[in-house]
Amino acid sequence: MTLTTLLIVAAALIGIGIYGTLSQQSFVMLMMGLELIVNGAMLAAVSFWALSAAGAPEGQLLTIVAMAVMAIEMAMGFALVVAVFRAKQADTTEALDGLKH
């Protein structure tokens, strides 16, 4: 694959993630959009690293560390969503009117 093709796919992932993040009101869909944004950024970074550094393993290691951080971040995010749902019975962002004040 060429760098152009990989960057187009990364841009598509970021674009879909931004649309999903800004257009959805469900917490789960919001977090899925954020995941797509981060995955697109990681794809772009790995593409640059693989095609410019002749496939040096440091870029792959950086991506594995980033994926581990993303998994931890998503687990914490879902724990917060569950806590908000238990406290306020809110499953959408519009139902949280107490955070506006």
Question: What confidence category does residue 100 fall into, taking pLDDT thresholds of 50, 70 and 90?
Answer: low
Query: The domain spanning residue 27 has which CATH number?
Result: 1.10.287.3510
- The alpha carbon dihedral of 66, 72, 73, 75 has a sign of positive
Global pTM reads 0.78
- Helix (H, G, I), strand (E, B), or coil: what is residue 90? coil
Tally of domains in the chain:
1
Confidence (pLDDT) at 99: 57
Confidence (pLDDT) at 90: 74
Copy the structure tokens of residue 93: 């962002």
pLDDT tens by residue, 57-85: 777 788 888 889 888 988 998 888 888 78
Contact present, 7 and 51 (Cβ < 8 Å): no
Cα separation, 72 vs 25, in Å, equals 23
* String of DSSP letters for 9-65: HHHHHHHHHHHHHHH--BHHHHHHHHHHHHHHHHHHHHHHHHHHTTT-HHHHHHHHH
Cα separation, 33 vs 56, in Å, equals 30
Confidence (pLDDT) at 97: 65
- Which residues constitute the domain of residue 61? 3-100
